[in-house]
Structure 1
Amino acid sequence: MIRSILIHPDPRLKKLCDPVTEITGEVRQLAADMLETMYDAPGIGLAAPQVGVMRRVLVMDCIKEGTPEPMVLINPAVIWASEDQTVYEEGCLSIPDQYADVKRPAEVQVRWTDLHGVEQERQFAGIWATCVQHEIDHLDGKLFIDYLGPLKRQMITRKMEKLKRERARELTVR
């Protein structure tokens, strides 16, 4: 089921998410819905708070062409980050059509639990490293615009407030 994606500013996007304590049917359904929502958007990553669920779950798939590689990470944590940094122009499904350069570690080692309850660990590089860090930030109540200067952040926030007003108006006109 495709879920609605929250648009910034929404207070839920700024909250720390609770850990998942048990892999239940509800968690598996959330992950399936999030993947479907992410692919439909389209995007390469989506965190549970973006669909209004305050749990530490994220999905991602950075393969743009070829065989998809969907990943579900439950309670992910960065356990190592490279000193080398990389700059990538990031966007966000909760901040549509806005992009900005963000500097992050070029590589990260991440530990998480999979949908079978098995602990996993993997080193990510390139777009995968950027994506997993961006999505983990969501679980910690942080958005990519929080890395920007105050003026640029305010400008994007104002655009999102305007977009939300326009969408609300469209809904009332129907």
Structure 2
Amino acid sequence: MKLGILKYPDPNLADPCAVVEKITPELKVLIDNMVETMYEDDGVGLAAPQIGEKLRLIVIDPSGPKNREDLQIIINPQIIDSEGKVDSEESCLSCPSFSCVIKRSEKVTVTGMDENGKDIRIEADDFLAIVLQHELDHLDGTLIVNRVGRLKKAMYDKKIKKWQQQEKNHAGK
């Protein structure tokens, strides 16, 4: 089932997420729904807080919705090592019509569990490293709009307020 994606400035996106204590049938349904939502919205990653669940859970597929080849589910992911720096042009399903350049680690090592509770370790570079860092930011309540300068953020905030006002006006008709 496709889920709704929370959009900035929803305050739920700013909260840090809780560790997943137990893999339950409900969690597996949530994972399936997150995967479907990510693919339907042409994403390469989705974090649980983006759909209103404050859990340390991400789904990623850097090959994208057309290929669906590299799907990974990571429960309680954490970066245990990183190296190098690279500029990354990023956008986000929770920040429509916004993109920016963010300095990220060039390589990361991430640990966590898969959907069956098995420990996993991912050594990533290039695009996969960027996707992992982006999605892990969500688990800590950080969006790409929080990583830009005040001016760019203020301009985006102004655009969001304008959209919200247009929606109110449209709804009132």
Question: Which TM-score tier does this pair reach, normalised by the shorter chain?
Answer: over 0.9
* Structure 2 partner of 1:136: 136
Q: Aligned-pair distance for 1:70?
A: 1.1
Shift of 1:69: 1.4
C-alpha contact (below 8 Å) 1:7/1:164 kept by paired residues: no
Counterpart amino acid of 2:82?
A
Give the TM-score taking structure 1 as reference length: 0.93
Shift of 1:162: 2.8
Identity level (%): 35
CA deviation profile, 1:130-152 (whole Å, cap 9, x unmatched): 11101000000001122211111
Q: Look up the match of 1:76.
A: 77
Superposed displacement of residue 164, structure 1: 3.6
Q: How does 1:83-102 map to 2 (within 5 A)?
A: 84-102=84-102
Aligned length: 172
Render the CA deviation track for 1:104-136: whole Å, top value 9, x for unaligned: 000100001111101100111111111110100
- 1:15-164 correspondence runs (5 A): 15-64=15-64, 66-82=67-83, 84-164=84-164
Q: CA distance change for structure 1 residues 151 and 118 in 2, over 3 Å: closer, same or farther? A: same
Contact 1:17 1:56 in 2 (8 A): yes
Change (3 A) 1:28 1:74: same
Structure 2, unaligned runs of 5 or more: none
CA distance in 1, matches of 2:168, 2:23: 36
Contact 2:61 2:68 in 1 (8 A): no
> Residues 170, 121 of structure 1: CA spacing in aligned structure 2 closer, same or farther, 3 A cutoff?
farther
Q: Quote the Cα distance in structure 1 between the aligned partners of 2:56 and 2:172.
A: 34
What TM-score does the superposition give when structure 2 sets the normalisation length? 0.93
Q: Can you give the 5+ residue segments of structure 1 that lack an aligned partner in the other structure? A: none
Q: Is the 8 A contact 2:20 2:56 kept in 1?
A: yes
Deviation at 1:67, TM superposition (A): 4.9
Runs of 4+ in 1 over 6 A off after TM superposition: none
CA distance in 1, matches of 2:51, 2:94: 9
User: Shift of the alpha carbon at 1:168?
Assistant: 5.0
User: CA separation in 2, counterparts of 1:171 and 1:43?
Assistant: 29
73-82 vs 59-68, which deviates more?
Answer: 59-68
What RMSD over aligned residues (CA atoms) do the two structures have, in Å? Answer: 1.5
Paired residue secondary structure (1:7): coil
